[in-house]
Amino acid sequence: MDATIQEKASLWLDARYDEDTRKAVQHLMDQDPKGLEDAFYTDLEFGTGGLRGVMGPGTNRMNIYTVSNATQGLANYIKAQGIEGRMAVAISYDCRKNSDVFARRAAEVLSANGIEVYLVNELRPTPVLSFAVRHYGCTAGIMITASHNPPEYNGYKVYWSDGAQIVPPHDKGIISEVRKVTGPEQVAQGHREEIIHPIGPELDTAYQDAIFEQCIHLDAVERQCEMPIVFTNLHGTAITHVPRFLQKMGFINIHSVSSQEVPDGNFPTVVSPNPEEREALTEALKLGQEVNAEIIIATDPDCDRVGIAVPNPDGELELLNGNQTATVLTYYLLDEHLKNDSLPDNAYVCSTIVTTELMDRIAEHYGVPCYVTLTGFKWIADVIRRKEGSETFVGGGEESYGFMIGDAVRDKDAVVTAGMLCEVAAFAKEQGKTFYEYMVDMYVKFGMYREALVSLVKKGKDGAAEIRAIMDGYRNNTPSVLAGSEVIEVRDYQTGLIRNLKTGATQPTGIPASNVIQFYLADGSKVTARPSGTEPKIKFYFSLKTELRGASDYAAAVEGLEKRIAELKEAFVNG
């Protein structure tokens, strides 16, 4: 084993670390050389969104020491900003193991630095933290969560004063300060309990009132209030807000999956608490069939992502993907606001580079700009910050089951999204249609788009190297043909260039640098490769489109596009 790893590990055996940590490190040194390597071969990177990693002892793990170091770095950055008056940070946490411990530790470190803290008195969703930052006039915010990662993970997300996750220049500034903090002796001691303020139900009420303003057709909800809705908490934080919001809107026939109501970081009833995966909705689908549900809602542990299932024309409950829900919501928001004369003259929507281009087409139809950003809602929130006062944000989403409506919250929000998806179902029912039929009508009007995602898990040090090699291969050996179709354009967001393979001409992407590469094919297909920023995965996105003459063509169009997607998957992932 590398002597450097042994040396780093041995430092964790001294008195600066608690007894349990010292024992755990000694066990790795004596019994588990591979585990020791993974725990100490590098420092857990504080990236542009914060920390995320497996929990345990070590420099490459989530623990109270890596959390303390990160928080001290954040405190140093805040104090260096020359802020006049008080400095304050809002903190929330999800259901994961140690989330409350990490949140409390962060609060102690901040208070030891003279920074006020607003700390939730129990677990709350990510969107509530985003709202809290602005509600309490804070300088920053911290959310302890690893979203929908497996149970062994936890994370630490940092927000700035606008309630959005950090972007340049703050991200780089905070990262620089965090890297300077290398041990417990550099972390401020002696926390001040008097400046740690517990957050109670007053925040919940203010948040619910703010997102309630986004509702459009509460009259339809009132008439369809008995529409059966199934909700599953997937052991997360949504139980604190989603049922309450649906009731506030007027829905009265809500069925909650009882076996998944209780927050539990072990996620005992699912393989993964990810509403993108069908397995996670098994219990909800079963209950949905029993109660003849009009819509099924599932949220991830920190309640920023939402997945749904609705009855299809065959009466089966069909899961919709993130692109489908995002486009339905965009269509509904723009179409109904326009009909109600409530669409602002300066309205706009947002999507990301891996989201369906149907978002752009819908926005264009209504004469509304669709600003395309890098993946991640921090970039959508950055657009909101830059356009505040001159243009009005209506909604925005990305394919990974996230959507944001209005600007009270500056991150994806499964609470308001769940409510508005149920409102769409009620509105469609008023028209004698199902949610599914409303979606198909949208495809007839704007074109049929179909997307797919393949994720390859590559864990640990070797996995990270393999992902780098895959991306380097695409850049250094660009394919000229994929699944029988010529590659005509390559967009490399790392170099910031769009390259036409026919003419050799290049132009800038106009988007900040990111390790993403896209291939545009002659048949209109688009394929994207992107390493995940939060999980040990590389993701491949496939996007195709066609036109529909009528709703009766939908099934055949889906079959044809799915066949083509299968060909692209084989060529791109396995070829």
- Ranges 206-215, 218-227, 283-292, 528-537: which has the least confidence: 528-537
Q: When comparing pLDDT for 3 and 441, which is higher?
A: 441
What is each CA distance from 118 to 92, 124, 507, in whole angstroms?
9, 13, 46
Average pLDDT over residues 477-491: 89
- Ranges 123-132, 167-176, 250-259: which has the least confidence: 167-176
Q: Read off the pTM.
A: 0.93
Q: Tell me what pLDDT residue 415 has.
A: 98
Structural domains of the chain, with CATH: 42-207 (3.40.120.10), 224-446 (3.40.120.10), 449-574 (3.30.310)
Candidates 130, 147, 351, 400; catalytic one: 147
Q: Can you tell me the distance from the alpha carbon of 83 to that of 52, in angstroms, rounded to the nearest whole number?
A: 29
Q: When comparing pLDDT for 524 and 134, which is higher?
A: 134
Q: Tell me what pLDDT residue 105 has.
A: 98
Please say if the pLDDT value at position 153 is more than 60.
yes
Please say if the pLDDT value at position 184 is more than 70.
yes
Q: Can you tell me the distance from the alpha carbon of 288 to that of 282, in angstroms, rounded to the nearest whole number?
A: 10
11-54 pLDDT, tens per residue? 999 999 999 999 999 999 999 999 999 999 999 988 877 899 99
Q: Tell me what pLDDT residue 322 has.
A: 95
Q: What tokens appear for 169 in the block?
A: 């220049």
Average pLDDT over residues 383-397: 97
The 3 state secondary structure assigned to 59-79 is CCCECHHHHHHHHHHHHHHHH
Q: Tell me what pLDDT residue 536 has.
A: 82
Q: Tell me what pLDDT residue 217 has.
A: 98
Please say if the pLDDT value at position 1 is more than 70.
no
Average pLDDT over residues 115-134: 98
What is each CA distance from 427 to 244, 266, 413, 422, 446, in whole angstroms?
20, 37, 21, 9, 20
Q: Tell me what pLDDT residue 159 has.
A: 98
Q: Tell me what pLDDT residue 72 has.
A: 98
536-554 pLDDT, tens per residue? 889 989 999 999 999 999 9
Q: Can you tell me the distance from the alpha carbon of 11 to that of 300, in angstroms, rounded to the nearest whole number?
A: 37
What's at 542, amino acid-wise? F
DSSP assigned state of 2: -
Average pLDDT over residues 184-196: 97
43-94 pLDDT, tens per residue? 998 887 789 999 999 999 999 999 999 999 999 999 999 998 899 999 999 9
Question: Is 68 assigned a catalytic role?
Answer: no
Q: Tell me what pLDDT residue 458 has.
A: 85
Please say if the pLDDT value at position 465 is more than 70.
yes
Please say if the pLDDT value at position 575 is more than 70.
no
Q: Tell me what pLDDT residue 457 has.
A: 86
Reduced to 3 states, what is the DSSP secondary structure of residue 195? helix
Neighbouring-strand partners of residue 393:
348
Please say if the pLDDT value at position 3 is more than 80.
no
- Ranges 142-146, 463-467, 569-573: which has the least confidence: 569-573
Cβ-contact 99, 151 below 8 angstroms = no
> What count of other Cβ atoms lies within 10 Å of the Cβ of residue 407?
21
140-152 pLDDT, tens per residue? 999 999 998 899 9
Band of pLDDT at residue 466, cut at 50, 70 and 90 = confident
Q: Can you tell me the distance from the alpha carbon of 306 to that of 274, in angstroms, rounded to the nearest whole number?
A: 9
Mean pLDDT, all residues of the chain: 94
Average pLDDT over residues 514-533: 90
Q: Tell me what pLDDT residue 573 has.
A: 75
Strands 485-492 and 295-299: unpaired
Q: What tokens appear for 137 in the block?
A: 């006039």
Percentage of the chain lying above the pLDDT 70 cut? 99
Cβ-contact 173, 94 below 8 angstroms = no
Q: What tokens appear for 350 in the block?
A: 């947002």
